């Protein structure tokens, strides 16, 4: 039989670091959301000559690492208040954590001519938000 004190200590040793991690992620997530609202390029692949992860993708991954309910809320805020690149990151997030919401938004974008600045490797280009959604949708299938 387990000692109650030992069991409590084990639970606290496991739970305390997790609760601290959530508490510490608050300002980081808020800052990431703020940066993503005005991000200058949408890139989900390595960029530049040395193939680095874009700052936007790092922030996107931070939001994606949150619990699903929170992540969905962050992506909703981003989709409503962000620029076209931010909306693209929000669509990518919905694709991962809320496929139904992604499908809903994807269908609503069929006539969209809104341009997104994208980057793959060293090449920057322009695609419509609908084209971005099409690429993301192909990844679902």
**pLDDT tens string 4-29:** 544 344 433 333 333 343 444 588 99
pLDDT band per the 50, 70, 90 thresholds, residue 118: very high
Write the secondary structure of the chain as one string of H (helix), E (strand) and C (coil). Answer: CCCHHHHHHHHHHHHHHHHHHHHHHHHHHHHHHHHHHCCCCECCCCECCCCECCHHHHHHHHHHCCCHHHHHHHHHHHHHHCCHHHHHHHHHHHHHHCHHHHHHHHHHCCCCCCEEEEEEECEEEEEEHHHHHHHHHHHHC
Whether residue 85 has pLDDT greater than 70: yes
Whether residue 69 has pLDDT greater than 70: yes
Q: Where are the domains of the chain?
A: 26-140
């Amino acid at each position: 039989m387990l000692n109650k004190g030992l069991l409590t200590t084990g639970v606290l040793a496991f739970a305390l670091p997790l609760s601290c991690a959530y508490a510490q992620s608050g300002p980081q997530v808020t800052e990431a959301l703020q940066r993503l609202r005005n991000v200058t390029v949408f890139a989900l692949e390595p960029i530049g000559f040395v193939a680095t992860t874009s700052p936007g993708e790092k922030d996107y991954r931070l939001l994606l690492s949150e619990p699903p309910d929170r992540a969905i809320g962050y992506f909703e805020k981003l989709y409503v208040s962000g620029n076209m690149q931010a909306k693209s990151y929000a669509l990518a997030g919905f694709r991962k954590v809320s496929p139904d919401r992604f499908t809903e938004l994807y269908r609503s974008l069929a006539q969209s001519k809104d341009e997104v600045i994208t980057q793959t490797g060293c090449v920057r280009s322009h695609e419509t938000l609908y084209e971005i959604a099409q690429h993301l949708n192909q990844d679902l299938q």
